[in-house]
Structure 1
Amino acid sequence: MNGTGNTILVTGASSGIGLGLALRLHNAGNKVIIAGRRKALLDKIVSEHPGIDSVLLDVCDPKSIQRSSEALAISHPDLNVLINNAGIMHWEDLTSPENLGTAEDTVTTNLLGTIRMVYAFTPQLIKQPSATIINVSSALAFVPLPATPTYSATKAAVHSFTQSLRVQLQASSIEVLELAPPGVRTTLLGQENDEHAMPLDEFLNEVFELLKISPTPHELIVERAKPLRFAEASGSHDEVLEMLASYKPSAD
């Protein structure tokens, strides 16, 4: 992936990792379009960062995705990078039937959202001389956090889907990357002040160092994510799973 001169769409870009990626990419000399569901927040970010564009897009709504893909094909015909970052993460008690709705919403957002975005935007990306799709999974794709079972499962599915996508597009102009973050200090799971989570700026610094490698690695794995990513290969999967099993939501 070229470091500059791209036209980049980032979903889930109104906060956290998505916003962090968008701002770094904008500052590096790329044209960035941030996508999200909250217009007022998108407008605020655009006003604070001249040059960034926005699009109202709900990855849970197939019609919203289709409308956005059609609109951006006209307004930004040179769009050549798609970052599928939108996602939700919630605690779940699998013994409580009322949590089923949470699980279904998680699948719709994290997995179907990513799949639908790929189907909608690949026809435009494939026309470009050089293009990139980055799917954001998680280190929990490789060892689940039992207290967030559906989130972990959707990210494992995103990992699998990304591998297949890469193979199918290997003869095209599109490179396919996977970004698998560890726990990062964002509002995703209320961990913005969690001392065990990685500071966002540290995470972004390391990601952008990985993006400078040529050719770009298929998987962008920062050091803190490696114990989970390679747990199976190192024989430590069960030990890591047991450690994660002790991590539960606070009583409040």
Structure 2
Amino acid sequence: MDLSNRTVFIVGGTSGIGRELARRFAAAGSTVAVGGRSPEALSELAAEGFGTFDVDVTDGASVGFARDAVLARYPELDTVVTMSGVMLMEDLRDSAHFPTAEATIDTNLVGTIRVIDAFTPHLVGRGAGSFITVTSGIAFLPFPPMPSYAASKAAVHAYSEALRAQLDGTGVDVVELVPPAVATAGQEKVNPHALPLDDFATEVMQLLSANPTPHEILVKGVLMHRWAERDGTYADLVAQRSKALTMLPGRER
């Protein structure tokens, strides 16, 4: 993928990985717009020179309005990155977890589908472009305190595979970015082994710039997760990660 002359819209790019990727795409020479819900973050990004758009991926009308505004300003748009996501803990022994599960799936999975549906006609109509979906190493190796997050990201992986097959021959590529734990938004406090954001972004941009671009962007730090079943380490790793259930309120083991 030539990163030097693209027009990119990063949905959910107001913080963390999305914000860093916006800066990296811009530094490579691309035109970048960012969508999100935080007025403060959007204002900061506008001051950096990014196009900014208010969008809530849990609201179909909001996604539609954002699409129309983005395409009016950037009719040459060729790359859409779906970054929006929530990552919350749930205790499945307590039925009160359900609203968390519902919100997680609505944002991470259904929100991704809303964005893709909104921009598919444009990208297919121009005969070239890319969707970059964002899953997680947890899609392939669950983190038991976050069951709906794992399920939603596994679903986005499957959806990305199906989308790629359905768009074959249209000129529109589907690339799946699979982050491990990255030191952003407090991750470094929860997981001291989280990959530094700068290192992660550098490796991601190197992989994206490959020709051909891989279907899955797998930094070295996520390979353990992605190939755990193949390598026969899955059961042991899930058991090890289950120790983190003590993070749930009222759980000692």
TM-score, L = length of structure 1:
0.95
2:221 match: 224
Corresponding position of 1:43: 43
* Residue 187 of structure 2 corresponds to residue 191 of structure 1: yes
Q: Which residue of 2 aligns with 1:62?
A: 60
Show the counterpart of 1:149.
147
Distance 1:220 1:39 in 2: 30
How is 1:68-107 mapped onto 2 (pairs within 5 angstroms)? 68-107=66-105
Give the Cα–Cα distance (whole angstroms) in 2 for the partners of residues 32 and 88 of structure 1: 23
1:116 lines up with 2:133 in the alignment: no
Structure 1 runs (4+) greater than 2 angstroms displaced: 127-130, 247-252
Post-superposition Cα deviations, 1:51-89, rounded to whole Å, max 9, x if no partner, equal x10000001111000111122222211111000011000
Q: What is the total number of aligned residue pairs between the two structures?
A: 248
Q: Give the superposition deviation at 1:159.
A: 0.3
| Deviation of the 1:250 alpha carbon | 7.3
Q: 1:250 to 1:108 in 2, by over 3 A?
A: closer
Question: Identity over aligned residues, as a percent?
Answer: 38
Q: Distance in 2 between matches of 1:169 and 1:88?
A: 27
Residues of 2 paired with 1:70 and 1:100: CA distance?
34
Tell me, in whole angstroms, the C-alpha distance in 1 between the residues paired with 2:161 and 2:114. 16
Q: CA deviation at 1:251?
A: 6.5
Give the TM-score normalised by structure 2: 0.94
Q: By how many angstroms is 1:129 displaced?
A: 4.4
C-alpha distance in 2, partners of 1:174/1:217? Answer: 14
| 1:247 alignment partner, SS class | helix
Task: Choose between structure 1 and 2: higher helix proportion.
Answer: 2
Give the distance between the partners of 2:244 and 2:223, measured in 1 at CA: 19
**Aligned equivalents of 1:33, 1:192: Cα separation in 2:** 28
Task: Specify whether residues 251 and 104 from structure 1 end up closer, same or farther in structure 2 by C-alpha distance, changes over 3 A only.
Answer: closer
* Structure 1, unaligned runs of 5 or more: none
Point out where structure 2 has 5 or more consecutive residues left out of the alignment: none
Residues 1:124 and 1:81: Cα distance change in structure 2 (over 3 Å): same
The 2-side partners of 1:23 and 1:67 are apart by 24
